[in-house]
Amino acid sequence: MRHFPASALGFALLVVTSRPSSAQPAAPLDALFAQGVDALKAGKLDEAETAFRRVLQQGGNRAYVHNNLAIVYQQQGKHAEAVAECREAIRLDPAYAPPRVVLGGSLLALSRVAEATAELERAVKLLPKERLAREQLARAYTRADNPTAAIEQYRALRELAPDDPEYAYQLGRAYLRLSEWAMRRLRGIDPGSARIYQALGHNYRVQGRPDLAVRAFERAAQADPRLPEIHLALAQIHLEQRNYGEARKQIELELALVPESAGALALKQRLEIEEQR
């Protein structure tokens, strides 16, 4: 399974290392810049840093050079230095988007989540089809405990790459985080809510712990006796355990609340078949 890159190196090798056509350095610096690019691709970070710094010192003060130097610093774990180089790149060319992606990654590493989010949002506006920008922005939203916004980014990534299983996986995780976030909010608003016990009951069923599930659903029914689906869930568990009397009782309670419940009616029919065996 492919994991999202922790830095912008992949983006560097695909996009950042190319020079904007409107900002070419002097011809003698081309070879030196290319040496830096090759060293960066090969993971020879000290050589890459030396090459890019020499380009800057010899008159190649361009946004993309600062950007590549920022990538080197980011790979070295020098995130404060990476931030400074990205800021300079953006100052030189505010419309040049790659430094904002790199900047967002280093700001996240420095736990400056709000700043990272702002920069990555700008990057996505400038490069709406660049997947790494959206990946990083989704990470920033997750760090900021904003699962709804993260879901929007993963949905966009799914549209950009519908055959990539990683995006499907990450979207599923984002929905799970949204559910957990909603439960935390619900606990803060109403700690005794029936919905909390209902969710616990479903979790216990998934874990294969029916006794705890029954207890949780019964607590939910006590908290709100008129909440649909609670008695249905209890009936399903009791039927699975062949507690036919209790299953029938819960089915009737569910039908009293929702007479047209297809699930309860189907379960009642199944119960009658099993009782006749």
- Average the pLDDT over each of 39-48, 85-94, 133-142, 167-176 and give the range with the smallest value: 167-176
Q: List the domain range (segments joined by +) for residue 236.
A: 191-275
Let me know if residue 262 belongs to a domain. yes
Let me know if residue 264 belongs to a domain. yes
Residue 255 and residue 165 share a domain: no
Residue 173 and residue 195 share a domain: no
- Report whether 265 contacts 255 (CB < 8 A): yes
Residue 16 and residue 135 share a domain: yes
Residue 116 and residue 17 share a domain: yes
Let me know if residue 1 belongs to a domain. no
Residue 174 and residue 69 share a domain: no
Residue 176 and residue 96 share a domain: no
The closest alpha carbon to 140, from 168, 101, 176, belongs to: 101
d(CA 217, CA 118): 43
> How many C-beta atoms surround the C-beta of residue 275 within 10 A?
12
Count of domains observed in the chain: 3
**Per-residue pLDDT at 12:** 44
- Report whether 105 contacts 136 (CB < 8 A): yes
**Per-residue pLDDT at 206:** 79
Domain at 218, CATH number: 1.25.40.10
Over residues 57-105, the pLDDT tens digits come to 999 999 999 999 999 999 999 999 999 999 999 999 999 999 999 999 9
Residue 100 and residue 16 share a domain: yes
Q: Is the model's pLDDT at 106 over the cut of 60?
A: yes
Over residues 226-238, the pLDDT tens digits come to 999 999 999 999 9
- Which of 113, 144, 175 finishes a domain? 144
Let me know if residue 3 belongs to a domain. no
Residue 250 and residue 220 share a domain: yes
Let me know if residue 4 belongs to a domain. no
Over residues 198-215, the pLDDT tens digits come to 888 888 887 888 999 999
Q: Please give the model's pTM, rounded to 2 decimal places.
A: 0.66
Residue 97 and residue 130 share a domain: yes
The closest alpha carbon to 205, from 195, 218, 214, 196, belongs to: 214
